């Protein structure tokens, strides 16, 4: 009798402990369902960046009489130029020119009659080519991360490029 009573008591203790335990599988299934809903919402709201074709929008043009600072660049300065920066201090303009040339850009440094240095990344005989070059550069550096990187690397963001029409 003591064996049956002991066995019954042990069975009740085991049953008592197992009935109070939370069911992990119920929590797990609710968690997984919530994660799946979150993933579906993320998939539908995520914007995928697609490449947009380069369109040549005519930029505002400023007409100035400019001369090349370096005699070697005088032959490369044409009627329409893409200006990335205007600086009043020559060492700053030279430093920017050197950084851009180091990164593979063809850069011309020109000075206007008021003494401003124009940092030019492309000079062309026609306006359409200058507009296309400007659009290409602006598209290449269009994301916010690129703007921050460019500001840190060059001190400019390439977001205010303009066309210079050379007056003779």
Evaluate whether 80 touches 123 at the Cβ level (below 8 Å).
Answer: yes
- DSSP for 10-75 reads HHHHHHHHHHHS--HHHHHHHHHHHHHHHHHHHHHHPPPP-PPPP--PPPPEEEE-EEESSGGGGG
Across 45-62, average pLDDT: 57
Residue 129 pLDDT: 95
The answer to which of 12-26, 108-122, 148-162 has the lowest mean pLDDT is 12-26
Residues 22 and 139: their CA atoms lie apart, in Å, by 57
Answer whether 0.85 is exceeded by the pTM.
Answer: no
Across 107-120, average pLDDT: 96
Query: Residue 48: pLDDT band by 50, 70, 90 thresholds?
Result: very low
Query: Residue 75: pLDDT band by 50, 70, 90 thresholds?
Result: very high
Integer-rounded Cα Rg, in Å, for the chain is: 34
The residue among 156 and 65 whose pLDDT is bigger is 65
């Amino acid at each position: 009798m003591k064996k049956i009573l002991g066995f019954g008591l042990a069975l009740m203790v085991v049953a008592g402990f197992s009935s109070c335990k939370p069911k992990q599988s119920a929590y797990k299934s609710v968690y997984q369902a919530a994660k799946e809903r979150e993933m579906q919402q993320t998939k539908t709201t995520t914007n995928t960046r697609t490449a947009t074709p380069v369109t040549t929008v005519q930029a505002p043009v400023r007409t100035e009489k400019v001369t090349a600072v370096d005699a070697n660049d005088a032959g490369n300065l044409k009627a329409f130029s893409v200006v990335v920066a205007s600086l009043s201090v020559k060492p700053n303009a030279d430093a920017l020119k050197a950084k851009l040339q180091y990164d593979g850009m063809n850069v011309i440094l020109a000075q206007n009659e008021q003494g401003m240095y124009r940092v030019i990344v492309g000079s062309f005989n026609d306006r359409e080519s200058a507009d296309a070059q400007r659009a290409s550069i602006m598209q290449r550096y269009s994301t916010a991360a690129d703007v921050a990187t460019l500001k840190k690397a060059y001190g400019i963001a390439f977001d205010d490029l303009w066309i210079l029409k050379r007056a003779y």
